Amino acid sequence: MEDPLSRRALITGITGQDGSYLAEHLLELGYEVWGLVRGQANPHVSRLRKHIGDVQITAGDLLDQGSLISAVERVQPDEVYNLGAISYVPMSWQQAELTAEVTGMGVLRMLEAIRVVSGISPSRTPGREQIRFYQASSSEMFGMVRETPQNEKTPFHPRSPYGVAKSYGHYITQNYRESYGMFAVSGILFNHESPRRGAEFVTRKVSLGAARIKLGLAKELRLGNLDARRDWGYAGDYARAMRMMLAQDAPEDYVIGTGQTQSVRELVEFAFRTAGLNWEDHVVLDAKYTRPAEVDLLCADPKRAREQLGWEPDVTFEGLVTMMVESDLRLLAESARPEDEPFSPDHW
């Protein structure tokens, strides 16, 4: 590939957690970074620029094929990172059709935009300098797992509309790679968190809950299944892996995770201990937070990423939780309104 200093990237979902970390990483490498943003005068753009810096914006919507073609034509990117999605799993049962359209069909629309702008067809294959495409796949595709740990060959059995939509996005990316010779890859990322995670996700809900109770802003935290186990890593580490996948000579899919799991109970216990609290004095189990179909265990086998990409996570689980709790203590000490944060859950 060319030197990063001469490369241009287009990121969908740039106002979300992953998009912000990826934008930072690519800017550090000397990329020209563009973000696809939905709607006019989106308030999250100014907040994003305040925190990330020199990011350029183009309008587009994963529900609108024409807008994506226009965006790709305008930006002329070397790389496209499709991170935009309705990514909160519980919401996917409430808005199943919208989840399918954005998280699933949105991938097809972006692939089609790249194909059309590049002039690719069954009789005209892309050249060496083609646009490279990254799809944000998810460990939720494994769902009711067939084996542990899960690798690139583990069969999918998604347990939510979100997981089903992500599975479609994964397979259509694979299909365009095989049908048109496009450089299109999927990163099957396991749970990755940070202080920028939306407050509705369990890791951030726990870190904010512990911080609120520590500061006297709340007395209890209500949670659902404490026994579910996840492979949790730091989102900034996973952003590095995305770019590594597009820097390879040939397109391949990769599982990205730590290879270790912790239960929600262990997450809660460590977060509250970090805040100087006993979690059992404050956490209340509430059945309304239980999923209709639970995913009990997800654990990555990142061997291929380690051996072929040279990728390793830098931040441990303990370091991640400490980072999040300490960040939320600072945030709430300054303002009791974490909803004013710059990284929006509505980032598709």
Q: Which positions are catalytic? A: 167
315 is written with which tokens? 């931040």
Q: Work out the angle at residue 302's Cα, subtended by the Cα atoms of residues 298 and 242, and round it to the nearest 5 degrees.
A: 100
Peptide bond into 292 cis (omega under 30): no
Token pair belonging to 237: 């580490």
Strand pairing partners for 37?
59
Beta-carbon count within 10 A of 344 CB: 18
3-state secondary structure string across the chain: CCCHHHCEEEEECCCCHHHHHHHHHHHHCCCEEEEEECCCCCHHHHHHHHHHCCCEEEECCCCCHHHHHHHHHHHCCCEEEECCCCCCHHHHHHCHHHHHHHHHHHHHHHHHHHHHHHCCECCECCCCCCCEEEEEEEHHHCCCCCCCCECCCCCCCCCCHHHHHHHHHHHHHHHHHHHHCCCEEEEEECCEECCCCCCCCHHHHHHHHHHHHHCCCCCCEEECCCCCEECCEEHHHHHHHHHHHHCCCCCCCEEECCCCCEEHHHHHHHHHHHCCCCHHHCEEECHHHCCCCCCCECCECCHHHHHHHCCCCCCCHHHHHHHHHHHHHHHHHHCCCHHHCCCCCCCC
Of the candidates 39, 114, 50, the residue with the CA atom closest to the CA atom of residue 79 = 114
